[in-house]
Structure 1
Amino acid sequence: MSVAVDIAAGDLSRDGLCVLRGALDPAAIGALAADLAPSFALTPMCRGVFYGHRTRRFGALLRRSSHAEALVRHPPVLAIVERMLLPWCERIALNLTQAVEIHPGAPAQLPHRDQDMWAGPKGSMEYLVNVMWPIDPFTRSNGGTRLWPGSHVDQDVAELPEDDAVVPGLAPGDALLFLGSTLHGGGGNLSGAPRRGVIVSYCLGWLKPFELQWLVYPPAIARHFSPELAALVGYAQHRPNLGNVEGQCPSILLGESVPEYLGAIDALRPDQEAQAAAFLADRRD
């Protein structure tokens, strides 16, 4: 796996996007699609030119289908994402899970960079990595995602020629990864059928996520997740001491009972622990 991860991470860093062919068994995507079918049928069309009047979107996929975890915790995908983001954080976090259905007649979406939802400095760091998992085959004619390779290099450029965009052909089981700094947008659906897909997005662990994971997956739901999945959706501290509950790791909320009074416990990086210990030692001398 390490060689494939190295190659994909290199492509993602160079081009701003990469494709993992056959990352999952198409049957797993089919099972996920079956679970999501009622939500696709009942969710109203979006409102607004960005989300798209001919588009359906809904989130919270981990509580809509048990099959969503296979996408969220896909080992090679997580390894690639961590390669991209861990230089700027201690741990990554789940930014969103979202199902998208682009209907016939939907126009192309405004090209944009997803990282622009955060107002921090751009060009010196990456904020997130998106992963698109097709439910239906993605083509240029049915609204497949348009991306501008290399657009992550000069992030002051807000618009590039449409002819420079690529639309990777994707089949169920493939995964399209692209940086939050990569210019992209959904395509216009010129076909006669809807195009469905799932977006799983990961961000720096100290950022406020696009989808508020703690509200989408409150303790009553998250306590049934594996510890790894619970940590990914936010039930873990980001050292030093960020995202705590009464000074403790928020995973304390996932137990059968939560003490009414909690004592704060340090969650420091090793270098900070050493610095604090040295400070105290100097005072004792």
Structure 2
Amino acid sequence: MITDIAPVDSHQPPSASMRALKENGYAIVREAVPAELIAAIDRDLDPRYAATPFCEGGFYGTRTKRFGRLLIRSPHVGALVMNPAILALAEAALGDWCERIQLNLAQAIELHPGALPQFPHRDQDMWQGTLGEVEYLVNVMWPLTPFTTENGATIIWPKSHGLEALIEEPAEEPIIAETMPGDAIVFLGSTLHGAGGNCSASVRRGIIISYCLGWLKPYENQWLAYPPDVAKDFPPELAALTGYVQHRPNLGNFEGQCPSILFRGYPPDPIAAVDALRPDQQALLADYIGDQRSAGGDGTLAA
């Protein structure tokens, strides 16, 4: 495996990260956030790490701990989810296939000594859509502790994304994403990857935050993780990212309206359904209605 990777400095233009992501299926952004922010998150999550039992099953790993709902477990996680540079990367990578992106997952992971290497996989396999043509997902791994070869740093197969995901054996040798707290490991949902094995005497902690197409069912059920009485206190942009907005046309509505109306409580009386269309659809509809009115005045064709 290769540890000599070509990271992208966070001070370089976003186009450098986007180019690396598109060409290699991953990008490592050094010093994407201050290490102090990561340290604060680690302190906030420490009690939950201690209380969480080990996973069950060979994929999650029996020497690994995982838990979600991170936006309510640390007030600092929102800064990772809404990081402008990372969010721009996700939107650029996924924007061709959706009207808006959504939060797919915010999960804490802790590999304990003795953890085996994870089964190499592609996260896009959660969905049974067309492969090789559409990108469904962007992952961002945020190390809370240093990621090293010994403690199970993320393993990535470069250029295994896109159409290459249809090929059984990757052409490139895998790299080991050795990184420090504050760095971000960004990779596509079509990129082959997996956690390394932890051969060290200490735990390896990280946070995986991922974004997916707004019309997909996300990995983590956001409405259960953050019900209206919780999400109402999020900044509007974060609430929208967790599902409290419609994906036009009309997808994800509540009684025909934006689900954010629940931030004021469940409506006591019946409410009207309201169109939520893209501008192009709205224009087509306006032309159609105009033609209908010109034809008959009442929606019927003129004689």
Q: Give TM class, smaller chain.
A: over 0.9
- State the shift of 1:65 in Å: 0.6
Picking from 231, 254, 262, the partner of 2:240 is 231
**Alpha-carbon deviations, 1:165-195, whole Å to 9, x = none?**
1012110000010000000000000111010
**Alpha-carbon deviations, 1:194-237, whole Å to 9, x = none?**
10000000000000000000000000100110110000000000
Q: Which amino acid aligns with 2:167?
A: V
**Alpha-carbon deviations, 1:14-52, whole Å to 9, x = none?**
000001110111111000000000110000000000000
**Alpha-carbon distance in 2 for matches of 1:247, 1:56:** 40
Find out whether 1:276 has 2:285 as its counterpart. yes
After superposition, where does 1:152-167 map in structure 2 within 5 Å? 152-153=161-162, 154-160=164-170, 164-167=173-176
3-state SS of the aligned residue for 1:112?
Answer: coil
3-state SS of the aligned residue for 2:175?
Answer: coil
- State the shift of 1:259 in Å: 4.0
Q: List runs of 5+ in structure 1 lacking aligned partners.
A: none
Find out whether 1:244 has 2:282 as its counterpart. no
- The more displaced of 152-161 and 26-35 is 152-161
3-state SS of the aligned residue for 1:95?
Answer: strand
3-state SS of the aligned residue for 1:164?
Answer: coil
- State the shift of 1:258 in Å: 3.1
Which residue number corresponds to residue 115 of structure 2? 106
Find out whether 1:34 has 2:31 as its counterpart. no
Which residue number corresponds to residue 4 of structure 2? none
**Alpha-carbon distance in 2 for matches of 1:264, 1:167:** 51
Find out whether 1:94 has 2:106 as its counterpart. no
**Alpha-carbon distance in 2 for matches of 1:44, 1:5:** 39
**Alpha-carbon distance in 2 for matches of 1:259, 1:229:** 26
**Alpha-carbon distance in 1 for matches of 2:103, 2:217:** 10
Which residue number corresponds to residue 10 of structure 1? 19
- State the shift of 1:79 in Å: 0.5
- State the shift of 1:157 in Å: 2.7
**Alpha-carbon deviations, 1:80-133, whole Å to 9, x = none?**
100000100010000000000001111100000000000011100100000000
After superposition, where does 1:1-285 map in structure 2 within 5 Å? 4-153=13-162, 154-160=164-170, 164-255=173-264, 258-285=267-294
- Count of aligned residue pairs for this structure pair: 284
Q: Assess if the C-alpha contact under 8 Å between 1:103 and 1:194 holds in 2.
A: yes
> Under a length normalisation based on structure 1, what TM-score does the superposition of the two structures give?
0.97
- Structure 1's consecutive aligned runs of 4 or more residues displaced over 6 angstroms after TM superposition are none
- State the shift of 1:3 in Å: 6.1
Q: Which amino acid aligns with 1:203?
A: C
Q: List runs of 5+ in structure 2 lacking aligned partners.
A: 1-9, 295-303
Percent of matched pairs sharing the same residue: 55
Q: Assess if the C-alpha contact under 8 Å between 1:130 and 1:202 holds in 2.
A: yes
- State the shift of 1:160 in Å: 4.0
> Under a length normalisation based on structure 2, what TM-score does the superposition of the two structures give?
0.91
**Alpha-carbon distance in 2 for matches of 1:37, 1:215:** 23
3-state SS of the aligned residue for 1:86?
Answer: helix
